[in-house]
Structure 1
Amino acid sequence: MIPLKRLGAILTASATLMSLGSVAKAQSTDPDRWLTPTMIDARASMFMPSLNYLTFQHMDQMFATRAVTKGTETWELPEKPMSLDGDYTILGETYDLEGALERTQANALLVLKDGAIVYEHYRNGSGPDTRFLTFSVAKSYTSTLIGFALEDGLIDSLDDKVTKYLPEMEGSGYDGPTVRDVLRMRSGVDWEEHYEFGSETQLTQVHDNSLVAYRYRWCDYAANESKPGAHAPDAAFNYATLDTSVLGCIVERVTGRTGAEYMSEKLWQPMGAEYDAYWIMDGPENVGREFFGAGLASTARDHARFGQMFLQDGMANGKQVVPAAWVREATVPDDGYEPTEPGSPVGYQYQWWTDARSDVFMALGLHHQFIRVDPTNRIVIVKISHTTEPVGRDQENEELFAQITARLTQ
């Protein structure tokens, strides 16, 4: 595959991309609508710092999508408002709550305590029905789909090799690791997850070719271009969005359905989601796949339901939705797997981040998106942000969360 340069080269390539037969036929009503220079430009520019507060709210206008449809019954979360007013200290500076949210570039903050909404606030034109793209928060959902497939007997064992379910991965970097290795981001595949959009990093090349230009799928890259890395499978943690894409393709293969369909049937409807969600795609409808590693758009309330369900060992809306054994296995670190490396404050289980100092576990996304589950204090915090930097501002958010927790538990 020839990697695309950033914006200028992407736009130059658009005429060629529109001539590719398998892609050009993607939309029967308007085959080129996702491949115009304007649309390619929009996808390339989605992280623009001055506008990402808005683009993160409207990804369905830039990407082909698949809907995760809700059911007829909604899990009604009780509302018991509590004041979170007061001073907050963020990196040594003092703010009121609104100032702290501005300082941490929040679009939304929703807090559950004991299963009830105690605080809910939306900013920058968003609201309860806004479906935000929350990037790698999606990984925790994709992991849950693997759990369902295991429970349904469609995956025999997490210790099966990836190639048992995706034989096209033979000869690639994924010829060797098990499903469990991939869940733990210990596939051993050669991958560098550097968020330097505008550069020539490996992640940027796949991002540009797949998500921006719709030239190939993430799993195409895994099957055709991935190679073994310096470490054997299970030997070392290496965060890789490519791993999660492979998990999603396993779900597709063993269920014979799209990820969105399976998620709707097994999770979204039984959980009692209030709104449809959607996955952004790495290509138009007839060739694209859900971007399983970072492409789910949902409301803050439905993210909160997902977090509360995991806090309740898989119970939602009065019924067991996710097997309790899977919740524990996915979120409680095994001996030797936490922290991710010596001295790190975090661990990683099955596509959930863990806190090496407590029983907190989190779904985290680029540009500082959080579903933070605190079993000891019975608190779920959903924070949706639009930070200028893609990573690197975890401390200020942890300080905010600690002070919110203190107010709710004093």
Structure 2
Amino acid sequence: MGFNQIRAATLVLLTAVSAHMAWAYPAPPPDPSLPMSTVPPAVQDLRRKMNDADVNALTFRDMDQLFTTRTVARSGAIWPLPQSHHPLDFTYSFQGQRYTPEQFLDRTYTNALLVMKDGRVVTEIYRNNTTEQTRFMAWSMTKSITSILIGCALQERRIKSLDDRITQYLPELKDGGYEGVTIRQVLQMRSGVDYEERYDFANPGIAARNHELALVENVVRFADAARAIKRIHAPGEVWQYKTLDTAVLGWLLERVSGGSTLAAYAAQRLWEPLGAERDGFFIMDGPPGVGREFNGAGFNATLRDFARIGQMMLQDGQANGHQIVSPAWVQESTKATGGPGPGYGYQWWIPNDHAFQAIGLQGQYIFVDRPTRTVVVKLSYFPPEAQQPHDETAAFMAAAAAWTPR
């Protein structure tokens, strides 16, 4: 399976999104150039602390208590997931020691774990007062869901070509660094715009400031930072992880959806045909009528419905009797096109030549291994900046893929 390859991808992600991370921080002074926030100060404070190790086991599955949300509604027949439960009778090696899956759950701060083999659920575990009804924060796994929706829009000809310039659809971006950037380059995190994914709130850069103003205070829209952002590299030249790139893709989907919202488009093109078991939801960067879905990291769903996404991708876009996205899109979007470590596709991480994964901040994973037809979903509450559980999870994923239930 290549543990070192999987570890490399997770290490790059951790480095990309948590450099100089300092999540617990005091309220900054008000910006007189912006409107006053209508979010109660106590709720703002909870949002600033939501990633902290002493509360994130709770906050990561209660985002609808902290944010305005927009529902991605399920409808119709639920896609059944056949059950064939087996004990996790394997071990994995990490740093010269062998561990059992039971030890893994505690050692890597697990809220929920599901393993599928050849379309059957062989393990489904809920911990810390969670259940099959609990909806968990995807964090940056949401980027991979956005990629699926871009594939749907391309298939419907709402987007004519990935090589179209993004400004053909979003002329609001013509005065900034996104001028001349193609949709494909945004998908690949090669836009070249000057947006360092650094969350040092004591010395905030553009990403930390955008997080505070858009997601905590709700006084600006997250994607609006793209309007006048500067360029640091030529488009397509340098890979650099940017949540803003994904937010621009969400804005694009909103624009081409025919006057709808991103959540409504996601419900119609993904969640309903997928046969989701429960409504999903996006957290919003503002109140109703103003805010947008935070599609860079803000989707929430159940463990089983995340597994349905993984199984759909394993089945080349087919789920519940529907072809949600084309097999060609699945293959193209999960193919390494350069990027860090083993590679990065269209908002998917590529640990080797036969697996791909959606990865979210602080331990959220949808891992898909093609040869063994394995899907693993792990939903976690890693402490900020912790590297060890990422490395250990990579070792577990490799062992879980190689495991044959008996």
2: CA distance, partners of 1:390 / 1:175:
34
Q: Write the mapping of 1:298-317 to structure 2, written as runs, cut at 5 A.
A: 298-317=301-320
SS at match of 2:286: coil
Shift of 1:86: 4.7
Who is 2:292 aligned against?
Answer: 289
Match of 1:202 among 201, 206, 224: 206
1:404 aligns with 2:400: yes
Instruction: Classify the secondary structure of the residue corresponding to 1:263.
Output: helix
Indicate the larger mover: 398-407 or 268-277.
398-407
Paired letter, 2:129: G
Could you state the TM-score of these two structures normalised by the residue count of structure 1? 0.89
Matched with 1:395 is 391
Which of 357, 360, 366 does residue 355 from structure 2 map onto? 360
Partners of 1:115 and 1:198 in 2: CA distance: 47
For the residue of structure 2 that corresponds to 1:57, the secondary structure is coil
Question: Structure 2 CA distance, aligned partners of 1:332 and 1:184?
Answer: 11
Within the candidate set 38, 61, 85, 2:89 is matched to 85
Secondary structure, counterpart of 2:113 in structure 1: strand
State the SS of the aligned residue for 1:9.
Answer: coil
Residue segments in structure 2 that go unaligned for 5+ positions in a row: 1-22
C-alpha contact (below 8 Å) 2:51/2:384 kept by paired residues: no
Moved more, 375-384 or 395-404: 395-404
- Greater relative contact order (Cα 8 A, min sep 6): structure 1 or 2? 2
Distance change in 2, residues 1:395/1:7 (3 Å): closer
Match of 2:375 in 1: 380
Cα-to-partner distance string for 1:261-294 (whole Å, 9 max, x where unaligned): 0000010000100010000011111111000100
CA distance in 2, matches of 1:207, 1:275: 28
User: Residue 318 of structure 1: CA displacement?
Assistant: 2.1
Q: Is the 8 A contact 1:111 1:382 kept in 2?
A: yes
Which residues in structure 2 correspond to 1:10-29 (within 5 Å)? Answer: 10=28, 13=30, 20=36
> Would the aligned equivalents of 1:6 and 1:198 in 2 still touch at CA under 8 Å?
no
Alignment CA distance shift 1:199-1:380 (3 Å): farther
Partner SS state of residue 282, structure 2: strand
Alpha carbons 1:59, 1:133 under 8 Å: kept:
yes
The aligned residue for residue 150 of structure 1 is 154
User: 1:9: which partner in 2?
Assistant: 27
Distance in 2 between the 1:277 and 1:390 partners? 28
Q: Distance in 1 between matches of 2:24 and 2:405?
A: 48
Question: Matched residues in 1 for 2:252 and 2:401: separation?
Answer: 38
Contact 1:314/1:327, CA 8 A, preserved across alignment: yes
Superposition deviation, residue 95 in structure 1:
3.4
Q: Which residue of 2 aligns with 1:177?
A: 181
TM-score by length of 2: 0.89
Q: 1:29 — aligned with what?
A: none
Matches within 5 A, 1:11-410: 13=30, 20=36, 32=38, 35-224=39-228, 226-229=229-232, 231-255=233-257, 256-333=259-336, 337-338=337-338, 340-341=339-340, 344=341, 346-355=342-351, 357-390=352-385, 392-393=387-388, 394-408=390-404
SS class of match (1:174): coil
Mapped to 1, the partners of 2:261 and 2:142 lie a distance apart of 15
SS at match of 1:354: strand
Render the CA deviation track for 1:97-119: whole Å, top value 9, x for unaligned. Answer: 22211111111110010001000
Does the Cα contact within 8 Å between 1:14 and 1:36 map onto a contact in 2?
no
Equivalent pair of 2:70/2:282 in contact (CA under 8 Å): yes
Distance in 2, matches of 1:379 and 1:39, equals 40
Distance in 2, matches of 1:387 and 1:52, equals 8
Counterparts in 2 of 1:195 and 1:216: CA distance versus 1, 3 Å: same
How far apart are 1:143 and its partner, in Å? 1.1
User: What is the distance in 2 between the residues matched to 1:292 and 1:278?
Assistant: 10
Aligned-pair distance for 1:82? Answer: 1.5
- Size of the aligned set, in residue pairs, is 382
| Residues 360-390 of structure 1: CA deviation (Å, up to 9, x unaligned) | 0011100021000101110000001100024
Deviations 1:286-342 (A, max 9, x none): 111000100000111000000000000011012212111111111123xxx23x24x
Tell me if the contact between 2:24 and 2:52 (Cα under 8 Å) persists in the aligned partners.
Answer: no
1:141-183 deviation digits (Å, cap 9, x = unpaired): 1111111111111111110111100001011111111000000
Name the SS of the counterpart of 1:236 in structure 2: coil
Residue segments in structure 1 that go unaligned for 5+ positions in a row:
24-31
Query: Which residue identity is paired with 1:8?
Result: P
> Post-superposition shift, 1:194?
2.3
Q: Which amino acid aligns with 1:360?
A: A
Tell me the equivalent position of 2:10. none
- Distance across 2 between alignment mates of 1:302 and 1:156: 30
One-letter amino acid of the counterpart of residue 283, structure 2: I
